[in-house]
């Protein structure tokens, strides 16, 4: 098993477009299972490329549940210690520490954009306008140049409609306002056949403050060695 991170960013192999799109579908299905299909909702809280493992057939498995939390379906969220990985955390988590379905969807959106663009969510060595993947892709969308975000390593060998869909879904999931993000069910519907979401041409400005003295902390682990196999 090798991480998605190793394939995308460390040159383990070049993932074809068909494989990438299938990984996003599978990851979305796994998150739907965690959020909706059990007796309780499981919030993963640390979805990122290095926590998605691929086998020799590029079938994916979502792992590392060390920060996961179980909540009642009706409750939807839980306030806890700030935890997660910079670049993948929803902006409201930084100020409130609240774990929620919407925060998991945000992390899924970041991974979707990474898969489409072939670059990390934060690249400090890039020029300022491109350092943040989310901000860069949203700028391209606003300038009607969205496909310019596609991974150049693919050499344009991808389905244009699927690429546009994945990029649009990624932006929808990383909307700064959690109430404007899709549910995981809506995400899957758009990836399969539903119309593309309508998004503002300019990325909305997050309004969440960072409390003084806050920092990223790992909460007491649970499910530390559990993984979820993503359906084919």
Annotated catalytic sites, by residue?
Answer: 46
pLDDT at 220: 32
Mean pLDDT by 10 residues, the chain (232 residues): 93 92 94 89 94 89 85 59 79 83 96 97 93 97 98 97 98 96 96 94 74 36 38 42
**pLDDT tens figures, 89-131:** 999 887 777 889 999 999 999 999 999 999 999 999 999 999 9
- Position 82 scores a pLDDT of 59
- The rounded distance, in Å, linking the Cα atoms of 186 and 194 is 9
User: What pTM did the predictor assign?
Assistant: 0.85
Phi, psi of 166 (to 5 degrees): -65, -40
Looking at the DSSP assignment, which residues form a beta bridge with residue 122?
A: 132
What's the token pair of residue 34?
Answer: 């965690």
Residues 48 and 83: beta-carbon distance below 8 Å: no
Query: Are 152 and 186 spatial neighbours (Cβ–Cβ below 8 Å)?
Result: no
* CATH class, range 2-229: mainly alpha
Domain-wise residue ranges, the chain: 2-229
């Amino acid at each position: 098993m090798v991480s998605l991170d190793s394939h995308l960013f460390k040159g383990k192999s070049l993932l074809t477009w068909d494989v990438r799109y299938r990984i996003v579908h599978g990851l979305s299905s796994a998150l739907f299972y965690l959020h909706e299909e059990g007796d309780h909702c499981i919030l993963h809280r640390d979805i990122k490329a290095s926590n998605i493992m691929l086998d020799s057939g590029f079938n994916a498995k979502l792992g590392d549940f060390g920060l996961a939390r179980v909540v009642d379906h009706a409750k939807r969220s839980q306030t806890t210690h700030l935890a997660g990985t910079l670049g993948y955390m929803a902006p409201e988590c930084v100020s409130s520490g609240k774990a929620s379905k919407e925060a998991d969807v945000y992390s899924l959106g970041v991974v979707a954009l990474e898969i489409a663009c072939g670059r990390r969510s934060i690249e400090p060595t890039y020029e300022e306008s491109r350092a943040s993947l989310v901000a860069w892709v949203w700028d391209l969308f606003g300038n009607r140049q969205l496909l310019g975000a596609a991974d150049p390593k693919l050499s344009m060998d991808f389905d244009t409609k699927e690429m546009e869909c994945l990029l649009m879904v990624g932006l929808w999931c990383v909307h700064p306002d959690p109430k404007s993000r899709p549910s995981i069910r809506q995400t899957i519907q758009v990836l399969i056949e539903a119309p593309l979401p309508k998004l503002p041409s300019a990325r909305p400005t997050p309004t969440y403050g960072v409390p003084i003295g806050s920092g990223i902390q790992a909460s007491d682990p649970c499910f530390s060695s559990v993984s979820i196999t993503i359906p084919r």
